[in-house]
Chain A
């Protein structure tokens, strides 16, 4: 597609900008890791901390500039596709990290928040070229509701990146996260995620899931060529998951000390949900109002709607659990992790695996 100025250079520029954003966030993460692995009170630690903060600020500015650029070039709100929306989610995660490090000096939490932003951007950057290009809005998206509904949902997802990190860190800090939990959770999760990405990047034949579920069998949608790639990626991701699990299990004692107390992590977790949950609620309702205008029905049990409702229910349960039992964090943390998994599937899985009315991720 050509941009508003009649050239295609805007696409190249914005995709290069996204790669640069990935680099800046990776640098922020590196500086953060260096900060918390250095001896307390050392000059190196102070310098690394300063650079981590600067890099995070720079990443926020770059992400905002990228969005503004895409908005100007395409002429519509820059969250109409999977690729564009990933920049908004990354921006939400970065803002949460900036809040943590500036307001409360809980920057160590960013060791897990920033990788979420990196993962979202990396997955978006690996999408085929057609998915990344700016394009004209399909008629269904030509509405003022796009800016409101989608931005609420994506900012909620950004806040839930914080929920993911804080829930996991709570379990590690409070000693609930054992070696067995690590292997089981991250190994399985890694394999599933790997399989999913392999599936997506094999250009997932549309309707594959429908064919499988209707009893047509695997042979129609997964010929051996793609099955091999599927298995290879699943194995690689599984190994990566196990490596991460190993690291998490043996976090240096120094790093553990830098993490806030378990009770504080739990309180911060509640705060991240108190940002994400109202945004999710408002986003779902705005989407329903838009659905009423566009399709005539405010709720159609479309997979995206259904999974948004599942996500909402999980976080509602998490909030109610806190309300009933007070800040006893273990179950709350597991519910937080489940909610984050539901967000990941709503954001990525539904777009590529389950056909429905919200089929805007594909070109």
Chain B
């Protein structure tokens, strides 16, 4: 009677089995892996446009060929789906192999069980009866393998041992984790969204949300009746607003790089603050099923500038606090000035012309308009980085920036990801599976005992990580087998009463005559 561990669970009808095996075959693995690697290579080497962030369409040949948004393409979605199907099929079709100790193609002939694998096979003739040799094998297997089974043929007995049976399931747990991650990515792509939210200091902004409406039975399709989708999505506003009360920036004086920045925000409903928070890069705000992440910042405009101005034919500098855009008279002089333009990151273009490269204060510059007795003079560009700027047109006229009081803005990213709990579960399953599979190695061994002239013929093979021929674990176990054989050889004529290794046989290992599995 076959051991219960040797019964292979059915995969379903024959056609389904064939389809599943084809989808989960190692050839399919190679195809999916090769296609995935090629896609990933192209996607990482060709600059990609983040279409979800509303970026402009790129130019150049990559954009013309549609290679600039590979990770948002339908083909990539199809590839991920194919990877998921393959992973599921490969796992499902291999589960029976993990369950049974004897593969289907075990080379059995004429009712006699054959050795399931030829890996590291070796054989030996023993001057013991098959019954005694089987007893030795059984005891040796029980010493190192927690799961032991026996397949009996008319003449031959095949003993099977397995260690860390559940370790094999760890691999499938890791596969299951990866499937969960793929499912989470699908959920995120279908129902999640991300949008930038730019708010100036002191201002507030409506929060965009991408609403999903499912089309249930009987619901009119309306304007979307031509679309095949089961749901439709539309941008709307959340029932609350975000106000940026203060943006705080701290720079490292030696490197000039920001070391900390944070947005102090208030969540407002109908103009009333219901929650306040400080959002930093690693400290997002979670509210109303959305998360708000600090993404970028910059200077939107200038509130005022503190300047030191030197005037022709006058001693010393005038320290002036000039509100942005306002024309001011310098007290006691015929001169007037106005801070007309502010560039946070000025780049020189041509004589007298500067352009702004960005909103972060990489190279702040001001354009000063000047009047003398009401007559406009040539404007003067002054940079924060310059110690002092002197006018070429008006000898003796100079200016330098003592300080800037900018109006900052903060860019928060609003995100909603309904797949995140699934992704977290998938990540946990993948980690547990990987650790279980690697650090509790699964191994199997088979020993076939058949009658031979003068005793019995014993063949042995086995596999498993760290159980290859010559490996310490394999050598240790083979030595145990040798000890068992030697001990039984000595007791050939007596009663088999103990293990040759001197170790106690674990409980649950039945005597040879009552073949069961623990």
Contacts and interface: CB of A to CB of B under 8 A. Distances in A.
Interface string A326-342: 11000000000000000
Nearest to A295: B293
A58 interface: no
Contact of B471 (A267, A281, A303): A267
A4 interface: no
Contact of A297 (B194, B282, B438): B194
Nearest to B413: A296
Given A139-B281, A215-B60, A310-B37, A354 B434 contact: no
A298 B58 contact: no
Contacts of B255: 1, 135-136, 363
A227 to B, nearest CB: 21
Interface in B226-242: none
Interface string A226-255: 000000000000000000000000000000
Contact of A264 (B61, B254, B470): B470
A261 B259 contact: no
B104 interface: no
B281 A297 contact: no
Given A136-B255, A213-B47, A277 B293 contact: no
Given A139-B258, A139-B260, A320-B26, A213 B468 contact: no
Interface string B249-260: 000101101111
Q: Max chain A CB contacts within 10 Å: which of B59, B252, B282?
A: B282
B127 interface: no
A214 interface: yes
Interface string B418-462: 001001100100110011001100000000000000000000000
A278 B257 CA distance: 36
Interface string B290-315: 01011100000000000000000000
A51 interface: no
Contacts of A355: 47
A313 B259 contact: no
Interface string A266-285: 11001100100110011001
Given A1-B255, A139-B280, A274-B438, A324 B26 contact: yes
Contact of A309 (B40, B435, B465): B40
A292 B435 CA distance: 23
A327 B430 CA distance: 25
Nearest to A345: B44
Nearest to B71: A301
A288 interface: yes
A341 to B, nearest CB: 12
Nearest to B58: A214
Interface in B27-56: 29-30, 33, 36-37, 40-41, 43-48
Nearest to A2: B254
The binding surface of chain A is classed by DSSP as helix
B465 to A, nearest CB: 7
Given A139-B281, A313-B36, A289 B427 contact: yes
A314 B30 CA distance: 11
Contacts of A313: 33, 36-37, 40
Contacts of A288: 423, 427
B194 A326 contact: no
A294 interface: yes
A137 to B, nearest CB: 7
B434 A306 contact: no
A298 B423 contact: yes
Contacts of B47: 209-210, 213-214, 355
A152 to B, nearest CB: 11
Contacts of B40: 306-307, 309-310, 313
A83 to B, nearest CB: 15
Interface in B357-397: none
A221 interface: no
A140 interface: yes
Given A139-B280, A214-B61, A354 B45 contact: yes
A30 to B, nearest CB: 31
A213 B46 contact: yes
Contacts of A214: 47, 58-63
B26 A294 contact: no
Contacts of B63: 214
Contact of A1 (B26, B33, B254): B254
B468 A327 contact: yes
Contacts of B417: 296-297
Contacts of A1: 252, 254-255
A354 B48 CA distance: 11
Contacts of A307: 40, 44
Contact of B434 (A270, A281, A303, A350): A281
A295 B417 CA distance: 12
A143 B282 contact: yes
B60 A213 contact: yes
Nearest to B295: A295
A285 B427 contact: yes
Contacts of B294: 139
B409 to A, nearest CB: 17
Given A213-B47, A313-B33, A274 B284 contact: no
Contact of B282 (A142, A267, A274, A363): A142
Contacts of B413: 295-296
Q: Max chain B CB contacts within 10 Å: which of A139, A261, A327, A363?
A: A139
B83 to A, nearest CB: 10
Contact of B252 (A136, A266, A320, A354): A136
B261 interface: yes
A299 interface: yes
A350 B259 CA distance: 24
Contacts of A41: none
B466 interface: yes
Interface string A124-153: 000000000001111110110100000000
Contacts of A135: 252, 255, 257
B60 A216 contact: yes
B29 A296 contact: no
A176 B435 CA distance: 33
A263 interface: yes
Contacts of B61: 214-215
Contacts of B185: 299
Contacts of B280: 139, 142
Interface string B333-350: 000000000000000000
B463 interface: yes
B431 A282 contact: yes
A350 B40 CA distance: 13
A326 B438 CA distance: 16
A294 B293 contact: yes
Contacts of B62: 213-215
Q: Max chain B CB contacts within 10 Å: which of A138, A261, A266?
A: A138
A324 B33 CA distance: 15
A19 interface: no
Q: Max chain B CB contacts within 10 Å: which of A215, A293, A298, A355?
A: A298
A145 B283 CA distance: 12
25 contacts: A138-B257, A140-B282, A213-B46, A213-B47, A213-B60, A214-B62, A277-B434, A278-B438, A281-B431, A282-B435, A285-B427, A288-B423, A294-B281, A295-B295, A296-B194, A296-B284, A296-B291, A296-B417, A298-B423, A299-B185, A303-B44, A306-B40, A313-B33, A313-B37, A317-B29
CB-based closest 6 A-B pairs? A214-B60, A296-B415, A215-B60, A306-B44, A296-B293, A143-B282
Given A1-B254, A214-B62, 9 more contacts: A136-B255, A138-B258, A138-B259, A213-B46, A214-B60, A278-B435, A296-B413, A307-B40, A320-B29
